[in-house]
Amino acid sequence: MALDMRASIGAENVGGTPPPRTSIRRRPGWLGPHVGRALAGAVGGYAFGHWVGNLIAAGYINVQGNGQNDVATVLGLSIGVVGWLAGAGMLDYPLARIVGREPLPPTPSKSWTRYFGPALDHKVIGLQYAVVVLLFFFTGGLLAMAIRTELLSPTSHVLGPGTYISVVGEHGTIMMMMASSIVIGPLGNWLVPLMIGSRRMAFPRVEAFSLWIFAAGYLVILTALPLGGFPTGWTGYAPLQTQAGAGMDAYLVGFAVIGIGMICAGFNLAVTIINYRAPGMSWGRVPIFVWSILATAALLTLATPTLVAAGLFGVLDRTAQTAFYVNEHGGSSYLWQNLFWFFGHPEVYIMALPGFGIVAEILPVFTRKPLFGYRVAAAGMIGVALLSFFVWQHHLFQSGINPDMRPLFMLTTELISIPTGFIFLVGLGTLWKSKIRYEVPMLFALGMFFNFLIGGISGVFLSDVPVDVTVHGSFFVLAHFHYTIMGGLVFAFFGGLYYWLPKMTGKTLSRRLGKWHFWTMFIFFNLTFFPLFFVGLLGQPRRVFEYAQNLQVWNDFSSVSAFCLGASFVIFVVNFVWSIFIDPRPAPPNPWHSLGLEWQTPTPVPPYNFTRIPVVLADPYHYSRTDPKPVADLGPRTLVLAGTVPPGTSEAVGTDVTGEEGSADPRPPIA
């Protein structure tokens, strides 16, 4: 064999050395690592950290007389996260290695309980991510319903002012953090290895770690509410941040924690895509979704460290009495703004790019045409990722930055709309003289195009400095980013879910409920957010609970539509639960007749993905030929790898993992 992979897949006694001593006794059942034990670890860790904080910083209070010790809160949350990770079994491997022992690998399990604990199979982790991400999304959605309830009346109030801005901040933070992981997690982790013909992700333990730390981050952000909430909105501007109550610590620690998860997920995906592509998968044959994930992974890895640093400075300001963001002591309130938006702008492209990738995958399947302008699409994604680092000051146009920066950032922001527009070129070109099948994933993809057009064009308005003077900080901005992120990414995500769930779960989702879901979501989404453009133009700022009387009609229309939009997700949940748990119908291996490599596997996909590593022969978009080339040879022979015999001849030695001719290794690749 060209490469001896036996050691890396856990084949015992490679090389004949005695097996090393193992530590970490495997605990049975309930005492093993799982979400319940993680929760126990989190609670215990929080209590311990809080106690240590009170011990080492006794009597320290941020604001005179309020009895709030930020050191205790920060330490409690941080050690709580460590406790959560320990309970989930994330620390077993590093701890064992530190003391020089071999950790026991997790017992491969076939039962449904394996979804509640740490896993190394990227498909299990992908489904765990799907549940976690949907949980984030629905939590944020409920908070949005609370916001729209408050905004029903300009003068009578359902929530107090402090509660209201805390709810706004929670909604924003949970949605932004959810949206960063929404595609990377469930779809990226599940699909990328299958799409590139690999058996695994590059770093399976890091993949599990990033999932569990995302879940920890969600709990930390939620903890802000009982701690009193944070008053800054998701943007966290200093010095309001420095002045705020204990909930602010949850925000800062939550960002740091989620940031670490994002960095880990990012480099994991990037390394997998670069190094684990099957033989024959040149860069010109990589599916467009994988390109979008690669561009996103680059942004995740490179932009997020700035956020972690900015959050750390904020924590230090609030606990160690440093003055990074405090003007009076030589710091600057501009510093947080710049650091945050230096991360924040690539962050929104982290959210937009995977949406482009999903619709570019869906469109060819349901138009039976190849993707138009594949290279343009890939170049556009890389271009967007690169340019996204050069536009962040458009969030700061009126903040008093050096005035000659403004035309510069206006130029870069407007230039980024060119590669962003490539997805429309590719989509429209694919629709030309096609045969469109209106299945549910296709509907969501088309809805994404409609919404993102409005979102993107409104972005051009915002990038223009004079118009930005009118609309910055108003509901116009809000409508813009809801159209791009929710109208773009969330629609694409649901399209992707409907498209890939038959492969991921092996069950068919109801088509009728899916169409109901799409139409209600699409109509009510537009009815909710389109009026908000006008509300902003007419002078309503963001995050206010009182607004001009004459805007009440618009706000009420938007609120009622928002309630209906929330209800539309009930249809999805009903479809999901019914079709997967209550009355499941098995799905065929390739219900959409897609040419993608991930669809060439049986359903359910075996733990090791491919019996033999495929040799890729073509990109998955050859829909226009009557006899399309198979995208890969799934039963290749070794001599192909050695380069001496072309594929399809009769000489044979199998490339299966044991090196024996013609047999498939049924063991999972990571034992």
Partner 1 sequence: MSPSEQTHHFRRLVAIWTALSVVADVVFYFAVGPHVPPGAMTTSASGQQTDFIVLFMIALPVMLAVWVYMAYALIVWRGSGAGADDPEGGAKARGHLGIQVGWIATTTVIVLGVFVYGTVELIVPAGAGGGEGPSPIWTPASHDVLPIQVIGQQWQFTYRYPTFGGFETRQLMLPVDTPIAFHVTSLDVIHSFWAYQLGVKADANPSSDNIAFTTAKQLGAFTVRCSELCGLWHGAMYNFGRVLPKAQFFAWAQSTERQNAANTKLLPAFSYTYVPDANGADGGYYPDNVDPYSNVEQYGATTPSGK
Q: Interaction with partner 1 in 61-90: which residues (CB under 8 A)?
A: 62-64
Segment lying near partner 1 (by CB under 8 A), choices 103-111, 331-339, 384-392, 570-578:
331-339
Give 102 or 464: the residue with its C-beta nearer to partner 1: 464
- Residues between 527 and 546 that touch partner 1 (CB under 8 A): 537-539, 541-546
- Residues between 183 and 222 that touch partner 1 (CB under 8 A): none
Give 282 or 624: the residue with its C-beta nearer to partner 1: 624
Q: Which amino acid is at 148?
A: R
Question: In whole angstroms, how close is the CB of 353 to partner 1 at the nearest point?
Answer: 18
Give 190 or 621: the residue with its C-beta nearer to partner 1: 621
- 387 sits near partner 1 (criterion: CB under 8 A): no
Cis? peptide before 103, omega within 30° of 0: no
Burial class for 407, CB neighbours closer than 10 Å (0-12, 13-18, 19+): exposed
Single out the residue of 466, 643, 662, 666 in contact with partner 1 (rule: CB under 8 A).
Answer: 466
Give 415 or 527: the residue with its C-beta nearer to partner 1: 415
Give 182 or 410: the residue with its C-beta nearer to partner 1: 410
- Residues between 351 and 370 that touch partner 1 (CB under 8 A): 367-370
- Residues between 8 and 67 that touch partner 1 (CB under 8 A): 62-64
Give 101 or 406: the residue with its C-beta nearer to partner 1: 406
Compute the distance between CA of residue 637 and CA of residue 628 in angstroms, rounded to an integer. Answer: 22
CA dihedral 5, 7, 10, 12 (to 10 degrees): 130
Single out the residue of 5, 35, 152, 401 in contact with partner 1 (rule: CB under 8 A).
Answer: 401
- 623 sits near partner 1 (criterion: CB under 8 A): yes
- 418 sits near partner 1 (criterion: CB under 8 A): yes
Compute the distance between CA of residue 598 and CA of residue 66 in angstroms, rounded to an integer. Answer: 57
Structure token digits, residue 438: 């209106």
Give 27 or 329: the residue with its C-beta nearer to partner 1: 329
Segment lying near partner 1 (by CB under 8 A), choices 11-19, 35-43, 110-118, 446-454:
446-454
| CA nearest to 266, candidates 295, 308, 306, 307 | 295
- 628 sits near partner 1 (criterion: CB under 8 A): yes
Secondary structure of residue 633 in the 3-state scheme: strand
- 327 sits near partner 1 (criterion: CB under 8 A): yes
- 550 sits near partner 1 (criterion: CB under 8 A): no
Q: Which amino acid is at 187?
A: L
Give 365 or 640: the residue with its C-beta nearer to partner 1: 365
Q: Which residues pair with 633 in a beta bridge?
A: 615
| CA 614 to chain CA centroid, nearest Å | 28
For partner 1 (CB under 8 A), the number of binding residues is 102
| CA nearest to 182, candidates 305, 350, 304, 341 | 350
Segment lying near partner 1 (by CB under 8 A), choices 128-136, 261-269, 340-348, 418-426:
418-426
| CA 168 to chain CA centroid, nearest Å | 21
Long-range contacts of 435-439 (CB under 8 A, 24+ apart): 435/367, 435/368, 435/369, 436/366, 436/367, 437/366, 437/367, 437/368, 438/366, 439/366, 439/511, 439/592
CB 476 within 8 A of CB 469: no
Question: In whole angstroms, how close is the CB of 332 to partner 1 at the nearest point?
Answer: 8
Give the C-alpha distances (Å, rounded to integers) separating 184 from 190, 268, 300: 9, 11, 10
Segment lying near partner 1 (by CB under 8 A), choices 92-100, 133-141, 253-261, 402-410:
402-410
- 428 sits near partner 1 (criterion: CB under 8 A): yes
- 402 sits near partner 1 (criterion: CB under 8 A): yes
